[in-house]
Amino acid sequence: MFDAQSLYVYVAAVIVLMITPGPDMVYVVSNGISYGKKGGLYSALGVGIGGLMLTLISAFGVSALVELFPGSLLLIQYAGACYLLWLAYQVWRSSVSAYSLENRTTKKELLLRGILINILNPKALIFFMAFIPQFVNEELGNTSYQIIFLGLLLTVIGTTINSLYGLFSGSIGNSLLKNDKYLRYQKYLLCIIFAGLAIRLFF
């Protein structure tokens, strides 16, 4: 099993990385503001599930396959960018009056979006491939199990932090959703965020 010192270093590194603004945090916070607390929480949970899936991908060697065939990574990148652009288009064409968590976007949709945004982000896959193995010790035995354990720990910490961001932004969002002027610009703001995340995948 891992020694206490290694785990402390790993947890500290993960916390620092998770509180640093990135695409996941932007996604969670923007949905918290747009849909309220539930929107932020379901988005954070979706991102967490996506992280768990990336852990399994890394543990069972699919990431090694991606390393051998860089073209497949590019395909993932294009797929992720196209998905985000499609979300931006869906937001753009929606009606303002129906644009709310209850009437326009369901909890399941927010959950699925969070999963897809994470697993279709090649930079997230590279992060899992590069970061977690640094803390794997071959002398401790099965490396796949170690990666799964470390990935689960990362996912729990990340989901907790993102959930807190989701709740905080959701508190702001719940108040803003009562503001008619804000509602008129809400969908355009979310549209810009999705489009911006899509463009970011190309750089």
Task: Report the C-alpha gap between 112 and 25 in whole angstroms.
Answer: 16
Is residue 198 within 8 Å of residue 88, measured between CB atoms? Answer: yes
DSSP 136: -
Q: What is the pLDDT at residue 102?
A: 45
Tally of CA atoms within 13 A in the half-sphere of 44 that contains its CB: 26
If you ran DSSP here, which 8-state letter would residue 57 be given?
A: H
The pLDDT score that the predictor gives to residue 203 is 64
CA distance 57 to 178: 42
Give yes or no for a contact between 194 and 26, defined as CB atoms under 8 angstroms apart.
no
The closest alpha carbon to 7, from 108, 107, 114, 136, belongs to 136
Dist CA 182 CA 173 (whole Å): 10
Structure tokens at 175: 């108040």
Question: Residues 111-150: pLDDT tens digits?
Answer: 888 898 888 776 677 677 767 777 877 677 777 788 888 8
The residue with tokens 């945090």 is 25
Return phi, psi of residue 30, to 5°: -65, -40
DSSP state of 141: S
Burial class (CB in 10 A: 0-12, 13-18, 19+), 28: buried
Measured on CA atoms in the order 15, 175, 198, 62, is the torsion positive or negative? positive
Count of Cβ atoms closer than 10 Å to residue 187 Cβ: 19
pLDDT, tens digit (0-9, with 9 covering 90-100), for 68-108: 666 665 776 677 788 778 878 877 776 654 344 444 567 88
Q: Which helix (H) or strand (E) holds 180?
A: helix 180-200
CA distance 31 to 23: 12
Question: Average pLDDT over the chain, rounded to whole?
Answer: 77
| Cα distance between residue 171 and residue 17, in whole Å | 24
Query: What are 17-56's pLDDT values in tens digits?
Result: 788 767 788 889 888 887 888 889 999 999 999 989 888 8
Q: What's the pTM?
A: 0.73
As a whole number of angstroms, the distance between CA 107 and CA 46 comes to 10
Domains of the chain: which residue ranges? 26-200
